[in-house]
Structure 1
Amino acid sequence: MTDWSWEYNPSEEHVADGLPLGVIAEVERLATEIAALGYDATKIGRPIDRAGGLREFDILGGRGFINFLAVPRHQCIYVCNITWYG
């Protein structure tokens, strides 16, 4: 287990407003699991050819995706955007 955490950036209202509760719950579950990876979170998702930067990760079997930043200096995952095709 790591000391990493996660949060919405800039805010939950901005990122998750209007999404179904099940989608928000899944995003929060995934963010918790990604944070548990610690520094390795900089390497998961897309793009697959490099580490760092804005990452993209599919949710709910490809029915949407999240964009997040893994910032080692802050030991935090920042969920920046949720795209839901619903």
Structure 2
Amino acid sequence: MARVVVDVMPKPEILDPQGKAVLGALPRLGFTGVTEVRQGKRFELEVEGEITDAVLAEVEKMAETLLSNPVIEDYAVRVLTAEEQA
């Protein structure tokens, strides 16, 4: 079995109120030096068999139709390495 990760983030031009809230809370908690926070989602999909171009194409389709809202979000699909899966 292999794992594929889909990272979903708001597009840069979209306001991110959750990120702004985190950014405002960090100094109150004693953390400094952070100038911007964007909050997104991460999906880990465990798939049967080997990762092929067809499997990645299917995951891309999942990301576009269910896991993200392509109007306001961007997504990236990547395969986890063996070290990342450990």
Q: Same fold (TM over 0.5)?
A: no
The structure with higher relative contact order (CA 8 Å, sep 6+) is 2
TM-score (norm 2): 0.30
Which structure has the highest helix share of the two?
Answer: 2
The structure with more radius of gyration: 2
TM-score (norm 1): 0.30
